[in-house]
Amino acid sequence: MSYRRLDIPLPSPAPGVSLNLVAHQFGNRSNGRSAYLHAGLHADEHPGLLVLQHLLEQLQQLDAAGAIDGFVTIVPYANPIGMSQRLFGPIAGRFDFDNGENFNRNFRLLDERVAAHIANARDGKMTPGEWKALFADSLAQIVATSPAQVMKRELARLAIEHDIVLDLHCDTDCVPHVYASELQRQRATELAEIMGAPVALIEPRDAGGGAFDQVHSSGWGTVQAAGLLSENESGFSATIELRGQADVSDELASRDASNLLRFLSREGVLTAEVPTAADFAAGPVAVFPLDGASHVQCPVAGVIVYYKAPGDPVSAGEVIAEVVRLDGGTFNERVRILSDVDGLMIVRQLHKLVRPGQRAALLAGERPVRDRNRGSLLLDF
């Protein structure tokens, strides 16, 4: 047994209110490889919260059996600030009420600090452990005051000492998919396959946005791009979009937890062989570039009706949905929404009353989409 619990206090946002993060750790950090997982950074995305409870239960059993060779850290809820943001009932957990910032943006990335170190070092040969120490030192220097700033810094510091970092999200209504750096295409594809995700979206190193997983990939990616470590020696981080916001069940969560353990086993964090669930069948993974991801917008206000479901193939020019105008000149008047890519529908809206400019769907295609620019490939909605 090698379990410990960390309680990390965050600055109180108001007199009488306390906030904290919790981390559950299993194994021995000096022994083998390590993995970090958290969920709910977007606090209105709840499938991952249940997945991690199943995962913790399974890790406890593996720990008792002596089957954790490496080190695992689980943060079961990454955003207590967002989880407490209710607006007349529903949780509004994607953006910070304090300043409108997307909770999964503007993390401090490590490219510049690591590139400067490489440029100044006479000998760039460092072990993975020494690189981790450099990353951790860089993050420790971040000045943070507000509860959200401190929360983001502490999440990044907890994660950065691990080889594998997995950030569990979901989208509105979607098939499982994985976001990861182009330098880790192979492992991203393997992770997607193990998770039963039919799609992996591969980000260029200059995707922009400052998402949580980019803290890890910016550090390791800079080292890897300089030719100082191979793809396998580098750390690996990914964002896993588990499914849609409404897809929360014990059945799905138990299966997802087992699949995550299979990935950790494959990465050498666990010694145990984790069997595939009887009802689980991995299919092929389609890999698309992030700049080929098209956010198709609704043209008018009304009720959206879809002709395609997440996972369906789409062709350029094909009608994927219609918006039914409620205030048109004729009854049941519709405005068509066309695909602008040859590829797959990944995401569609859960709530069907839409406004002009709202995302109708996320489609993935092979070719770069017009108006998608490096440096701002991650949108904020």
Residues that bind Zn ion (CB under 5 A): 42, 45, 169
Closest contact distance (angstroms) between CB of 38 and Zn ion is 12
Helices 212-225 and 111-120: crossing angle in degrees, nearest 10, is 20
d(CA 254, CA 101): 32
Would you state the structure tokens that stand for residue 350, as one six-digit string? 């859960």
Nearer to Zn ion, 33 or 42 (CB): 42
User: Looking at beta carbons, which pairs linking 372-376 to residues 24 or more positions away fall under 8 Å?
Assistant: 372/291, 372/293, 372/294, 374/204, 374/206, 374/207, 374/208, 374/291, 375/206, 375/207, 375/208, 376/208, 376/209
Closest contact distance (angstroms) between CB of 228 and Zn ion is 32
DSSP-derived 3-state class of residue 341: coil
Nearer to Zn ion, 44 or 163 (CB): 44
Nearer to Zn ion, 42 or 177 (CB): 42
Question: What residues contact 69, with CB distance under 8 A and at least 6 apart?
Answer: 27, 31, 32, 33, 268, 269, 270, 271
CB 180 within 8 A of CB 218: no
Nearer to Zn ion, 305 or 381 (CB): 381
Closest contact distance (angstroms) between CB of 42 and Zn ion is 3
Nearer to Zn ion, 42 or 308 (CB): 42
Nearer to Zn ion, 54 or 177 (CB): 177
Looking from the CA of 187 toward its CB, the CA atoms found within 13 Å total 25
Closest contact distance (angstroms) between CB of 61 and Zn ion is 29
Q: Do the strands 343-348 and 164-171 form a parallel or antiparallel pair, or are they unpaired? A: unpaired
Nearer to Zn ion, 241 or 340 (CB): 241
Closest contact distance (angstroms) between CB of 245 and Zn ion is 10
Closest contact distance (angstroms) between CB of 169 and Zn ion is 3
Closest contact distance (angstroms) between CB of 236 and Zn ion is 19
